Every structure is written in C-alpha cells, then in structure tokens.
Homo-oligomer: A and B are copies of this chain.
C-alpha cells in the first residue's frame, strides 16, 4: 500500500488570446478529467485570456501602478531597481507580478484582476466535464527571503482546501502536533511547476491523487494564503526598517538634548 499521485502537463496548448474561452481551451488538451483532480493554470495564460496585456514601453511605471505598498528596494549591480512590493492581491513579490517575458515586445502582462474569481470561473466547467468536483489553482512564480531561486505558489484557487490545518491533531506518537498548517495550494503549484516547466508551451497541469483536498464548493481561495502585513515579522525590508528607526531615533535624540518640552517619551529606552 502506498499513497500515490500523478501529474501531467499536455503539449499542444494553443497560444491564448484575449477573449478566449479558457475552460474550453484547457478541456481540449488536458484529457479526461476525474472528480478530485486539481487543474493548475499559469496566471500568465489566465491574464492573456482576460485581456490583461497593456501597452507599456515603461515596465517600471506598470509596476508602480500595480503596487499597493513598497516592502523593500535595492539597487541592482546593472543600475536597475529591484522592488519587492505588495500588490493589489496582498501578494508580496518582485515587480508586482508585471510580466515582460513571453509577451509581445512593447507590452507587459498584468496579473488577473481577481485570480480567485478566475479560478472559480474555471471550476464550474471543469467540474462539469469531470462529472464531479475538480480543484483549480492559478499559479505564479515568486522569489522568497533567505533562499535562492523561485518557486510557484497559488495566487488563485477554487474548489480546494488551500491549507491543511493539522494543529491539535495527534502525531504518530499520539502527541498533538506543534504548529503545522500545510500550505497545500502552494505545494500543488510547486508540483505543477515541475511538470509544466517554464520555457515550454505547457501552461497547464493536472494533478491526480489529491482528492482529499478538493471540496464541493468554491472553498476559501488563495487569498487565505496571504498573511496580513500587520501580522508579519518581515513586513518591511531590514534596511528600510533600520532607516525608519534611525530617523525616528534621531528626531527623538535631538529633542531630548534640546530639552523640548513636547516630548513625553523617556530617552535611552532602546
């Protein structure tokens, strides 16, 4: 006995254009779906189908437009600026998901307006074709602190328990487990990336064998995977937080010394 899963990414997916019926297009290539399957689609083709291509000679301006909050910036060796930002979706990553690869020159591709809604829109026709509930993940590629390289994560999801909360469940030796909340949808996106690849025309993968995570309704969506920035110990880059602290400390130190009566904070508190 063993737990088993299989995943495949079909070749021959046609170039997706604005207005295409993405569900019909996917159903034409993925083969026969079964209830419990999870279909993972690169956000890039979802964006293309939704007409999210914009003319932009200046990718930097497009990034600025998509940014809700700047988390950290760094000057690159070549002179460009790396911007880690929180985008409209709450997702923190480089360049706000603005994509300039695999698109027409002179254009950039923005993320879907609401990838959870995109996933929900796909879930229904795919489930109907499967004859039962199918999960859908819209994936994107993100870097991460502390580790090199990028992994794919879920920025949209439907029909899926995006996390598996094991807290309080007994472990193998009967004790309750510490703090494990498995980010299932992100792990599924990572899995799909391994079979889809990036350079090839394989923007969709099907994963079979994870039916235990597939739910009947729309489920919580990938938005549930976003940690609110106020709860985040890394809500701001180290250099940015240091600079803010320095500015505030400097102002306070100056006031202290000049005997500013306006000052209610005791000096030397740090």
- In the complex this chain forms, how many copies of it are found? 2
User: Contacts of A253 on B, CB cut-off 8 Å?
Assistant: 249-257
Taking A234-B237, A245-B242 as contacts, is the C-beta distance between A148 and B3 under 8 angstroms?
no
Contact of A180 among B150, B210, B237, B246 (CB under 8 A): B150
- A residues 147-167 near B (Cβ < 8 Å) are 147-153, 163, 166
Check A61 for interface membership: any CB of B closer than 8 A: no
What chain B residues lie within 8 Å of A193 (beta carbons)? 182, 187
With A102-B173, A190-B190, A254-B257 as known contacts, state yes or no: A183 contacts B151, CB within 8 Å: yes
A5's contact among B149, B163, B195, by CB below 8 Å, is which? B195
| Shortest Cβ distance from residue A251 to the other chain B in the assembled complex, whole angstroms | 7
> Most chain-B Cβ atoms within 10 A of its Cβ — which of A10, A225, A250?
A250
In the A-B complex, list the 7 residue pairs whose CB atoms are closest, starting with the nearest. A245-B245, A253-B253, A249-B249, A149-B183, A257-B257, A246-B249, A249-B250
